[in-house]
Structure 1
């Protein structure tokens, strides 16, 4: 077990409340789901249905606009209520297809049959993956076929990323432990369609029970999937860091994994590929951890996409106390939520409801003590405090030479700073100003 990632921190894991809790269905199916047309990292999709129309579970309801889009499928059966703007978990509001759930979960009658991996060609696999509307379900939820086409012929290593490094979140852990067979089948399918030599499923060292179960499956099947356990460390789950830890190759600034002959898919996407092959199922559900000190019964849920966040809270017993902060995702990079009407998306791995006592006590920034900790923990080799100093002094050329635009926004520097300086926010501001400079603008304070 090794880790060659540069920098990083070790926040308290806080996973004990959900680590051993299996994936459960919602206690009551959602009365309606709202499926945003902007549900991945590419362009929004275009509706194929209109208000009043009956739809079936798994039916395509929106088509991609352009080559970089993805098909959107109904996650429940019922009737389309409207296409209207609703709160979006990434912020703001966005158009969504609202379906009144009839509770029957009637499957789409044109759903394809399962296919055998050994008998399917690369192109047949590509067609199946694209038709299933699968997107990568990590921090960069691009359509799967876009990542495959971008990588095919350029990479020699496929990494399936199960490194769930954010505190509190255990959705991928439970998926890995309970649904290993389709994950391995999806992994082998991705390897076949990519034509890669090496296939690695990377998990963290705090997932040992799931890892041991997978090892037995791999041994029985004599699979060529390599299972690699890496030391738990944040932000190990980020694409550049997982590539570095698995292959010892360093993705260049501004580059992608393909630049060092790797491609990375989240373990949930590998599971979705396996289900598309085994059962002909499109992407309609995902695992979500609902946790935090404000939640009465933290748990891991198997949730239809488009389910309002309030339904997840209800299935977790509601609030035991008023939450001080609600995030989609983990405490390091999660997106604050103003409304629990926002829906579950493919990359919604957690709903974190923090009680006031769980939140760090706000402290006024003091003077930098030049301890160098922000430099030592930055996984991108940046010098955050020097970036901040150049920003405050309006030193344009010095700021440009420090490359703040390479920041991955992980928050390690702010977390570790003993002077409580909001380094991550200031580096983000500096990065924006450098981008303005590169466009011919002026540096401003």
Structure 2
């Protein structure tokens, strides 16, 4: 069995409601709202306008710099290109498409004649054009991770830990789409030039491990499955690297610094689909669960589907539902409406109606130190909390707040119920704002000096 990483907690997994339920297809919605921001980096620029006809797989958003293109998930007519609410808060430019229910595939979607004969550069280009990102929630562009790691990475890891409570989409993919998982892993092995790819799966998904091993044996694939002890946040790529390899990612570093590259299970499936069929990312598997959901399910739906339709498909919400969360209960974000669209990084939607949330009005730290013991990044959350609450930017930098992965392990274990993760998000923003202010001041000073020199030279 794999090794342990530092810290972490073991919350109740709460997966029983959906881990034995097969992925169901949501009937095509009458309208989709596709955000132009579904990846790490600046939002895409829309390529269509109101009145345009689009088809499934057609590129409708192009990126600049760091990003990934966005595609139409249904065929139909563009109703509007305008800002709409989305799960990260506020509004973002979105393409609204009225579905004509014809499900026409775009001419842009072309399957390679012989996928196995593709070169590494050709496969990376396909991944880029397919708009594949980290579909576990990080949404980092996959083609950038691959191209930046070729020649540097000697350990490719597929993240099947799925350690956060409630979420079961990756588990179901292992059971129902093991050929896609192993096929995508095989292509990754070819792209990185490694002898084998390691899939890390927590041992509470033993049937998933067995199914993957069965497919590996049938395909004679260069893939091995590593069983992992159940521990949150093992799905964090730095923690997973340590559990699999025993190596620690240095502070401020990335897995590539220790020769590793990590990919999500559903990202791996998307790579397989893109290389074998040419189809970009147009659908997403979402776990819909929580005490407020009448019939929890794993649902696959087109990108841009309103979350309200997912809840309707699961029998609706119970009376007394008081909180909606996009993502898991540890790292997800509370939502003020269900009228937000499913995006590439949406892996779970939760609704709660019982007494899961236990807060106090005026929390007070009791200096127990439990938060220090569970922080997987070796930080001191109790001090970070004090610095952030007082706006002490220099102290936040010295305490390495930017290394915080916002996993919520400290808040989970805190007996005083301090709002630790929320405060760390605030603290990070303080640091970013201060850095931006300092940069602007430095640029202004430099411009003033150059202007002064020009006057002197004249």
- Coarse TM-score class (shorter-chain normalised): over 0.9
- Correspondence 1:385 to 2:382: yes
- Aligned equivalent of 1:292, options 286, 290, 293: 290
TM-superposition CA deviations, 1:423-442 (whole Å, max 9, x none):
3334444445555676787x
Q: Which runs of 5+ in 1 are unaligned?
A: none
Alignment of 1:327-406 (within 5 A): 327-362=325-360, 364-368=362-366, 370-389=367-386, 400-406=397-403
Question: Using the alignment, how far apart are the partners of 1:5 and 1:397 within structure 2?
Answer: 29
- 2:268 partner SS: helix
- 2:355 partner SS: helix
Question: Using the alignment, how far apart are the partners of 2:112 and 2:436 within structure 1?
Answer: 50
TM-score, normalised relative to structure 1: 0.93
CA contact (8 A) 2:158 2:262 kept: yes
Offset of residue 127 of structure 1: 2.1
TM-superposition CA deviations, 1:347-397 (whole Å, max 9, x none):
1000101114232254642341x3321111000111222334556688776
In structure 2, what is the equivalent of residue 102 of structure 1?
100
CA contact (8 A) 1:403 1:431 kept: no
TM-superposition CA deviations, 1:101-124 (whole Å, max 9, x none):
111211123421245443221122
TM-score, normalised relative to structure 2: 0.90
Question: Using the alignment, how far apart are the partners of 2:192 and 2:414 within structure 1?
Answer: 42
- 1:344 partner SS: coil
Alignment of 1:151-166 (within 5 A): 151-166=149-164
CA contact (8 A) 2:137 2:346 kept: no
- 1:207 partner SS: helix
Q: May I ask how many residue pairs the two structures share in their alignment?
A: 438
In structure 2, what is the equivalent of residue 177 of structure 1?
175
- Correspondence 1:23 to 2:23: yes
Offset of residue 210 of structure 1: 1.1
CA contact (8 A) 2:195 2:222 kept: no
CA contact (8 A) 1:325 1:356 kept: no
TM-superposition CA deviations, 1:313-361 (whole Å, max 9, x none):
1111111223211011000110111122211111100010111423225
CA contact (8 A) 2:57 2:108 kept: no
CA contact (8 A) 1:33 1:101 kept: yes
Q: 1:70 to 1:396 in 2, by over 3 A?
A: closer
Question: Using the alignment, how far apart are the partners of 1:168 and 1:303 within structure 2?
Answer: 19
Q: 1:430 to 1:276 in 2, by over 3 A?
A: closer
Q: Which runs of 5+ in 2 are unaligned?
A: 439-458
- Correspondence 1:64 to 2:59: no
- 1:96 partner SS: strand
- Aligned equivalent of 1:422, options 401, 419, 442: 419
Question: Using the alignment, how far apart are the partners of 2:173 and 2:264 within structure 1?
Answer: 12
